[in-house]
């Protein structure tokens, strides 16, 4: 922030017919309003003086005055220090700039029509794009054949962990998935009240008409570890505890079913169990359950183990009569393992 020079403010008439000797000055008080910090650690006061006249006039004159001869040199030193600090940080953003330009030149410009369509709105299952695939014997812009494709839109709920970006792991391109990331990829139940996650659910299901919801968990999840570590009594001042408690059912079931395992193994168990609980919580929203029942919306679980670089995927097998069981176990289908 730039150092502001001490100022005094005068208010006076700007009438062309008046001279400075015609002004009737009203008494005023001078008091410090802020100051700049000197090398000695003391604060140099800045005086604000407001001079008014008998005329109702908006004209203001700002007069600069300085009470310390050393402040100019101090200002120069501060400026040099801050330039050096900016230079250090600029290297980080210079790298970011190069990555952006690489995206622009090698993805955006090469698929300009697709990105222009995205600018009109996000509804990729209703939009088409051209995918060029190598195919010998067929020419289309050289050695490629253009294929018209239609997408089914996904909503993805994943963890905010920097190691598990769903676009990187699963290759989602702009316009293909509506992505929400939160601590421990949790889905709160309807009774939990408003949150960013269920607001996004309402928008994606009712407005974007997504056909798939995918909840993606992962290995070594700090949010699940916090859930498993917390006491039964929640600290009201802890935002983390007040959020991860959404997964309390998964925690309780894990501690009961895996009590003989080590804490790390229990956490891994809970990482997967919390995904299934989130799938059940999705069905507490009537407008989601109704679409699942009709078969126009499917809900899936996914688990990314970035230690082994494997991915598990499964789909909730909707059976209305079995969803309210005491232990809340779910039936799944299409369980796949990618390695």
Residue 92's pLDDT is what? 78
Q: Is 218 annotated as a binding residue?
A: yes
Q: What are residue 121's phi and psi, to 5 degrees? A: 150, 165
Whole-number Å distance between alpha carbons of 174 and 7: 51
Highest mean pLDDT among 4-8, 53-57, 270-274, 315-319: 270-274
Residues 253 and 172: beta-carbon distance below 8 Å: no
pTM above 0.75, yes or no: no
In order of their start, the domains of the chain are: 156-319+328-338 (3.40.1050.10)
State how far the Cα of 276 lies from the Cα of 250, in Å rounded to an integer. 8
Residue with tokens 């700002």: 62
Known binding residue 161? Answer is: yes
* CA distance linking residue 179 with residue 200, whole number of Å: 9
CA distances from 206 to 41, 158, 202, 297 (A): 59, 20, 6, 11
299-316 pLDDT, tens digit per residue, is 999 999 999 999 999 999
The whole-number pLDDT of residue 173 equals 86
The arithmetic mean of pLDDT across residues 198-219, rounded, is 96
């Amino acid at each position: 922030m730039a150092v502001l020079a001490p100022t005094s403010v005068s208010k006076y008439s700007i009438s062309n017919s008046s001279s400075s000797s015609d002004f009737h000055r009203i008494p005023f008080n001078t008091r410090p309003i802020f100051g700049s910090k000197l090398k000695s650690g003391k604060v140099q006061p800045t005086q604000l003086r407001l001079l008014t006249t008998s005329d109702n006039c908006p004209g203001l004159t700002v007069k600069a005055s300085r009470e310390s001869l050393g402040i100019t040199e101090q200002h120069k030193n501060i400026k040099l220090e801050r330039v050096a600090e900016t230079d250090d940080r600029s290297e980080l953003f210079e790298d970011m700039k190069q990555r952006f330009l690489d995206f622009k030149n090698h993805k955006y410009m090469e698929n300009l029509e697709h990105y222009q369509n995205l600018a009109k709105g996000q509804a990729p299952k209703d939009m088409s794009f051209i995918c060029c695939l190598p195919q010998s014997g067929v020419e289309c812009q050289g050695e490629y054949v253009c294929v018209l494709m239609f997408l089914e839109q996904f909503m993805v709920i994943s963890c905010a962990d920097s190691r598990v970006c769903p676009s990187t792991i699963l290759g989602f391109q702009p316009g293909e998935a509506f992505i929400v990331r939160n601590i421990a990829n949790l889905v709160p139940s309807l009774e939990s009240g408003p949150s960013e996650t269920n607001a996004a659910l309402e928008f994606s299901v009712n407005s974007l008409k997504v056909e798939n919801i995918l909840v993606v968990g992962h290995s070594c999840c700090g949010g699940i570890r916090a859930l498993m570590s917390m006491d039964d009594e929640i600290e009201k001042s802890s935002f983390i505890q007040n959020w991860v408690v959404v997964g309390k059912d998964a925690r309780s079931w894990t501690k009961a079913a895996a009590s003989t395992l080590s804490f790390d193994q229990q956490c891994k168990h809970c990482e997967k169990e919390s995904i299934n609980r989130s799938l059940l919580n999705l069905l507490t929203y009537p407008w989601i359950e109704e679409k699942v029942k009709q078969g126009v919306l499917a809900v899936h679980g996914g688990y990314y183990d970035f230690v082994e670089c494997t991915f598990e995927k499964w789909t909730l097998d909707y059976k209305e009569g079995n969803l309210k069981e005491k232990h809340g176990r779910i039936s799944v289908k299409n369980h796949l393992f990618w390695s």
